[in-house]
Chains A and B, each alone.
Chain A
Amino acid sequence: MARRVSPARIAVATVAAWIVGFVIFFPILWMILASFKTELEAFAIPPSFLFFHWTIENYETVQGRSDYIHHALNSLVVAGGSTLIAMLIAIPAAWSMAFAPSKRTKDTLLWMLSTKMMPPVGVLVPIYLIYRTFSLLDTLGGLILVLCLGNLPIVIWMLFTYFKEIPKDILEAARMDGATVRRELIYVLTPMAVPGIASTLLLNFILAWNEAFWTLNLSSSDAAPLTVFIASYSSPEGLFWAKLSAASTMAIAPILVLGWFSQRQLVRGLTFGAVK
C-alpha cells in the first residue's frame, strides 16, 4: 500500500515549494518590474512593487538607441546555427561511442568533458588572435564556430546517455534487415531517440542563446547578439537600471517563451531512461 501523506504535510510542502519557486523567480520579477519604472523609481529605497508610475518609455528608449531586432536575429542565427552543426556532429559521434565503442571511448568521453572544466578565459588570448588572423572577429560564422565547439562535449555526452538506453538488439535487427549504418541512424536510431535529441537540442539552444563570455569578447556590432545588447547598457555613462532591465527583459523574453512551451519536453528528455 502506498504511504499515506497527511493533508497538513501536503500543505507545508506546497507552501515551501511556492516559497522556493518565488525566491528563484524573484530576480526576474524584479527585473521585469524595474523595466516599467522610471530611472528614479528603479533606484528608490524602499522599492515600490506594484504602486509606481508604470511606463514603457524605457522600452522606447532602448529600441530607439539600439536595434533590438538586429541583435535578436543575430542571437537566433548564432544559437540556431551552432546547435544545428553541433547536432550533426554529435549524433554520429554519440552513435559510435554508444554502439561501437573502442578501448579508448571512455577516455575520449572523459577528455571531452574535461575541456569544460577549463576556464574559457584561459584560452581567450590565443582564440582572439586566431580569430583576428582569420578575420573571424565580429562575424556570425566565428560565433557559431566557437559556441558549437564549446557546447559539443555536453551535447555528445547527453546524446550518448540517451543512445545507451536504446536496446542494441533493435539496431542489430535493422542490420539483419539489410540497413547500412547511415540508414540505421536515419530510420531507426534517430526516431527512437527523438525525446532525447529534442531535449538536447533545446538545452543546447538555450545555452548558446545565453552564452555571454565568447559573444562579448569576439563580437561588437555586426554579429553582436542580445548579450552584447544588454551589456551595452552597463556603460561608462553609469548604470541605468530601468533601461538595463528593459533591455534584459527583451533579451530573455524569447528564450523564456521557448522554455515555457518546451518544459514538458525538457523534463521528459532529461529524465529519459530514468524510469524503466
Chain B
Amino acid sequence: MGHITLQGVHKAFGQHVVIHGADLDIEDGSFVVFVGPSGCGKTTLLRLIAGLEDVTYGRILIDGTNVVGVPAAKRGLSMVFQSYALYPHMSVRGNIGFGLKMAGLPRPEINRKVEAAAATLNLTPYLDRKPRELSGGQRQRVAIGRAIVREPKAFLFDEPLSNLDAALRVQMRLEITTLQKQLATTAIYVTHDQVEAMTMADRIVVLNAGRVEQFGSPLELYDRPDNLFVAGFIGSPRMNFVGNETAKQHGAATIGVRPEHLRASRDGAGWEGKVAVAEHLGSDTFLHVDVPGIGKLTARSVGELGLTTGDRVRLLPDPGRIHRFDGEGKAIRS
C-alpha cells in the first residue's frame, strides 16, 4: 500500500518560503509526476515526502499515518537520485542489498532478493562489479534495483534520467514505466522535462514558484489547462498566446492556440504572416511565422508543405481548440 496525502504542506528556509501550502492526494499504485521549471520547488516537495527535509507546517500522510517527524529511514519509501548516489566502495550486489542488510534480513534471503531484482533489471552479469566499472545506464539500473528490492510503499524518483543521453533516456523512460506498472507500487517522479511527464504519468502535478498550479491527468492538462502557466508549460512546441484585439474578439484577455491546432496553408482563411524559420523534421514541419499585429506564432503541420523562409502563409486556428484566459491568467470555461 502506498496512499500518500499532503495537507497544507509548507516549507520555508529561513525567511524564504519554498512551498506555499501543497494539498495533494496520491492514490495507491499511481504514477505521479511533479513537473515545473527549475527552482519551482518540485525536488523540495519530493524531499519533504522522503523525510530528507523537515516540513515547516502541514501534514504528510502515508496510508493514513502522519509521518511528519518520522525519520526518512522509517518511512518505508525508497528513492532514486539524480546522481544515482551509489555506494562507490560496494559492489552492485552490495549496493542493491544494502537496504535489506540494514533491515536485518538473513544473508540467504538478501542474496535471493538481490538476484531477483538484478534479473529483472538485466544486471546479473554485473553483480560483482563496482559502480565505477559500469556505464551511466547500468548505474541507473543499479539505483533502481536498490529502490525496488526493498518493496517500499512508494518509489521517489528525483530527475533520474537527466544524466543520460537522449536515446538511453527514452529507453529507460519506458523501462521505468513498465516496471512501475508490473509492481503496481506508487511512484512519485520529479522532472523538468514535460515530455517525460506526459509520457510517464498517470497524473501530473504542475508546480510554479512553490505553488501547485494544476493536478490532473496528462490529457486534462493538455486539453483543459487551468491557467496560462500550465498552458504554456505543457505541450511542445509551447502554446501560442495572443492578446489585444484578437483576444477581445473571443471575450478574453489572452487566447492560446497550440501549434498543432493552427492550420497552415499557402492561401485561404486565417491570419496572414511571413515564415521566419521553417524546421523540417520529416514527419512534421514547425513554422515560426511573423504575423503583423499579433506577433510570432508557431504552427505545426503534418508532413511537408514546401514552405521556406520568407514565404507568405496563412494560419487558421481550430475554433474548438482556442483556450481563453482572463486578465489574471485563469482559464475561462464556457
Binding site for B on A (CB under 8 A): 167, 169-170, 172-180, 183, 187-188, 191-192, 194
A-facing residues in B81-99 (Cβ within 8 Å):
81-83, 85-89, 98-99
Q: How many residues of B contact A (CB 8 A)?
A: 24
Task: Give the chain B neighbours of A192 by CB distance below 8 A.
Answer: 87-89
Task: Give the chain A neighbours of B81 by CB distance below 8 A.
Answer: 169, 172-173
Q: Are B102 and A177 in contact (CB under 8 A)?
A: yes
Determine whether B254 belongs to the interface, using a CB cutoff of 8 Å to chain A.
no
CA of A170 to CA of B95 in the docked complex: distance in angstroms? 11
Task: Give the chain A neighbours of B98 by CB distance below 8 A.
Answer: 174, 177, 179, 187
CA of A32 to CA of B271 in the docked complex: distance in angstroms? 96
CA of A135 to CA of B41 in the docked complex: distance in angstroms? 60
Most chain B CB neighbours (cut-off 10 Å) among A170, A173, A194: A173
Question: What's the dominant secondary structure at chain A's contact region?
Answer: helix
Q: How far is the CB of A88 from chain B (nearest CB, A)?
A: 21
A169 and B83 in contact, given A177-B99, A178-B103 (Cβ under 8 angstroms): yes
List of 6 A-B pairs having minimum Cβ-Cβ separation, nearest first: A177-B99, A169-B85, A173-B85, A178-B102, A176-B79, A191-B89
Task: Give the chain A neighbours of B191 by CB distance below 8 A.
Answer: none
Q: Are A177 and B89 in contact (CB under 8 A)?
A: no
In the complex, what residue of chain B is closest to A188 when comparing beta carbons? B87
CA of A19 to CA of B89 in the docked complex: distance in angstroms? 42
CA of A177 to CA of B79 in the docked complex: distance in angstroms? 8
Additional A-B contact list (8), CB under 8 Å, known A167-B85, A173-B87, A191-B89: A169-B81, A170-B87, A172-B85, A176-B50, A176-B72, A177-B98, A178-B74, A179-B102
Q: How far is the CB of B150 from chain A (nearest CB, A)?
A: 7
A-facing residues in B43-102 (Cβ within 8 Å):
50-52, 71-74, 77-79, 81-83, 85-89, 98-99, 102
| 7 sampled A-B residue pairs with Cβ under 8 A | A169-B83, A172-B72, A173-B81, A174-B87, A175-B72, A178-B73, A178-B103
In the complex, what residue of chain A is closest to B146 when comparing beta carbons? A177
CA of A178 to CA of B81 in the docked complex: distance in angstroms? 15
Q: How far is the CB of B71 from chain A (nearest CB, A)?
A: 7
Q: Are A170 and B85 in contact (CB under 8 A)?
A: yes
